[in-house]
Structure 1
C-alpha cells in the first residue's frame, strides 16, 4: 500500500518536508517531532538506492510465486544493511505522520507501507496457503521471507503491536529471516520493544524476538508533549442529527481530519478462527454504517475486537430504536458498552439525540444507561481520555 500522495514530500528527504509543513502552518512546531525528523533524515540518506539482491519478475500472481519458491538458508544480515528504526510514543504524537514523510520520499525501489495488523493477516493467509499445498510438516517461514523480500527491501509498519500468541510465535523466526535477507524495517508503536506482549502467557518464548528488534532497529522515543489526535477530535462535533447528506459529509470530513487525510481501506480482524471485515479503516480509525455493525448477528467478541484495535469509530446512520428492531438495539447497547470500557471515541450520525433514540416500549428503560454513556462520550473530559487496548 503506498502512502497518501498528499504526503509525498519531494526529493530532499523527510526533514526538509517536515520543516516546510511547519513553515506553511500545516503542522505546529514540536521539538520532539523535529528530532525524530532528523533521525529519519539520516535513515533516508543511508537507504538511498538500497536494493539488495533484486530479482527478475516472475510469471503468475504472488501466491503462485510464493508456493513454488525455494527457501534461502538463514544467514547473518548482509554487510552494509542499514539499521531500521522503531519509533515509539504515546498515541497522537505524530509517529505515523513522520513515518509517512519518510516513506513518501524513500529512494528504495521496492518498498511497502502497511498497518502491522494488516501485515499479520497477510502472513497468516500465506502460511495457510503454503501448508495447504505442502502439508503441515513443511516449514513456510523461509519461502515466506523470500517472497516478502522479493516485494520489498523496505517495510514500514504502522501501529506495531502484538496481542495474539499465534502472531508472537511466528514473528521471531519470520523477522530473523527477513533481516537475514537484508530487509530494512521502520515501525511505529505505542509500546516499547521491552514491553511487547508483557504479562501474556508464553512471553518467555517471545523474548528472543524482542532482543532481535533491539539489535536490528534503533529505538527512538517520540516524547512530544501534545496529543495532536485528541486535539483534533476535541475540536470536532461528534453527534450529528439527523442522519442526512449533511451529516454524511460531516462524517467524511471527520474521518479525513482524524486520519490526516489518509485514504481508508478495507481491513479484516481475526477472531478465534473467523474474521470481521471493516469497510474502511486508516490510522486507528474505523468506519461502519449502523446496519453493517448492528444489523448482523455480531456479538461481544466482535465489538471488543473493534474497541481494542481502533481508537475512534465513525458510525453512519443510527436509526430510532424500539421493540420492532430490538435485536439491532441490543447489539448497539453491547457495542457502546465495549467502546465505553475501552475509551474509544465515537463520531456518529443519528436520527435523534441519544436521549430520544429509544423512547417507547418495555425495553426503553434498558437503553437509559446507553444514552447516558453516549452523552458522556461527547464531552471534552471523555474525549481527552487515552484509548485502552
Structure 2
C-alpha cells in the first residue's frame, strides 16, 4: 500500500528529539579509516589528521571546565573548544564529523543545525543548557544562521556549553564569521557571530562534490504515471503530488519531518514544479536533508530536479542551502 506523506501527522516528543541525536543511518558505519581523501586536495588529508588528533583527546575521560580554561589559556589555537569544518558540498565534512562522534566518549550528541534549533525550541534554552552541559561532545552538521533570532539563541546556548566544558564540532558551507551574510546585517548580530567564531578552530576542506564527479546534471524525470506505478510495486513507498506535499509541510514543524518518513523506504513525488516562494523552498531543503540522512531513493516526475529552485534563489542569501539540497536530491534520484 502506497503511503501519502501529505496525510501523515506525526507527533514528536522532546525526549524523542534528544534520543535521535545520533548520526543518521547513512553515516552510522563511517569511520576515519573509511574516509578517502582526494590525493589532489591536501586540505582533506590535513582535516583528517586534525580530527583524528581531536578524537584521541575526546576518547579520554572528560576534564573539569576549570582544567580546560587553563589548557586553552596556554594554547590559544589548539585549545579552542570548537572545531569548525568549512568547505563545499560533497567533500566529506559530514563523514569526518560522524567519525569524530563515533570515537568520542559518551555522553555525546550529533544533530544538524536545524535539529538543534528545533530541540532548543522544544525544551527551552534553560532546560537545553541543563541537559546538554554534561555532554562530552556535541556535533552540529550544516551549521547556519538564517535569522537574527537563531543567532541570539545559538550564541547563548553554545556560549554556556563552552563555559561548561562541552566541546563542539561543526560543519558548514560558510566561514563562521560570514554566517548570516546576505540575510541580515545588523551590527549587534554581527558582534554575536564574530564572538561565536572566535571559539572555533576553523579548518577549510577543498575539493569537488564526490556525489557528482562526472555526473553534474540531474537525471531525466519520469512521467508521473510511471512514478505512481513504480511506487505501487516498491515496498514501503510513499507517493505524493508535489503541491499536496509542500502544502502539508507548511502545516508541520520542521522538527517532525524526520518522523514523517518513519517506515518509508522510497519517496515518490509527481509533478515537481519550479519554485519561486522562499518559504516553500526552505521547507523542501529540510525534507531533502532528512531523506538524505535516511538514504531514501527518490522517484521524481515533473521538471528536472536541477530546475527546482529559481535562478534568483540560486543567487540569493540561501543559495548554499539550495545547492546542497540539489546535490542530495540528485544523488537520491540516481539511487532510484
Instruction: Give the corresponding residue for 1:162.
Output: 145
Distance across 2 between alignment mates of 1:113 and 1:79: 27
Is the counterpart of residue 126 in structure 1 residue 123 in structure 2? yes
Max Rg structure: 1
Instruction: Give the corresponding residue for 2:29.
Output: 7
Distance across 1 between alignment mates of 2:38 and 2:299: 31
Preserved contact between residue 86 and residue 204 of structure 2 (Cα < 8 Å): yes
Give the C-alpha shift of residue 194 in structure 1: 1.4
SS at match of 2:122: helix
How many equivalent pairs are there?
264
Distance across 2 between alignment mates of 1:317 and 1:337: 12
Preserved contact between residue 155 and residue 196 of structure 2 (Cα < 8 Å): no
Give the C-alpha shift of residue 176 in structure 1: 1.1
Preserved contact between residue 148 and residue 189 of structure 2 (Cα < 8 Å): no
Give the C-alpha shift of residue 348 in structure 1: 11
Distance across 1 between alignment mates of 2:299 and 2:130: 42
Alignment of 1:26-65 (within 5 A): 28-29=38-39, 30-52=41-63
Once superposed, what is the RMSD of the aligned Cα atoms?
4.5
Q: 1:89 aligns with which of 87, 90, 102?
A: 87
Q: Which runs of 5+ in 1 are unaligned?
A: 54-73, 128-139, 253-268, 319-331, 351-377, 379-389
Alignment of 1:1-389 (within 5 A): 1-3=21-23, 4=25, 6-9=28-31, 14=32, 17-18=33-34, 22=36, 28-29=38-39, 30-52=41-63, 78-80=69-71, 83-106=81-104, 108-127=105-124, 140-141=125-126, 143-150=127-134, 152-201=135-184, 203-224=186-207, 226-231=208-213, 234=216, 237-240=219-222, 242-243=226-227, 244-245=229-230, 275-276=253-254, 277-278=256-257, 288-290=267-269, 300=277, 302-306=279-283, 309=286, 315-316=298-299, 318=301, 339-341=309-311, 342=313, 345=326, 347=330
Distance across 2 between alignment mates of 1:347 and 1:311: 10
TM-score of the superposed pair, with normalisation by structure 1: 0.55
Give the C-alpha shift of residue 2 in structure 1: 2.3
Give the C-alpha shift of residue 40 in structure 1: 0.4
TM-score of the superposed pair, with normalisation by structure 2: 0.62
Task: Provide Cα deviations, 1:195-242, integer angstroms capped at 9, x if missing partner.
Answer: 111243353222333333333210011122x22133275488453452
Preserved contact between residue 221 and residue 300 of structure 2 (Cα < 8 Å): no
**Larger relative contact order, structure 1 or 2 (CA cutoff 8 Å, min sep 6):** 2
Distance across 2 between alignment mates of 1:270 and 1:245: 24
Distance across 1 between alignment mates of 2:175 and 2:198: 14
Q: Which runs of 5+ in 2 are unaligned?
A: 1-20, 73-78, 238-247, 292-296, 315-321
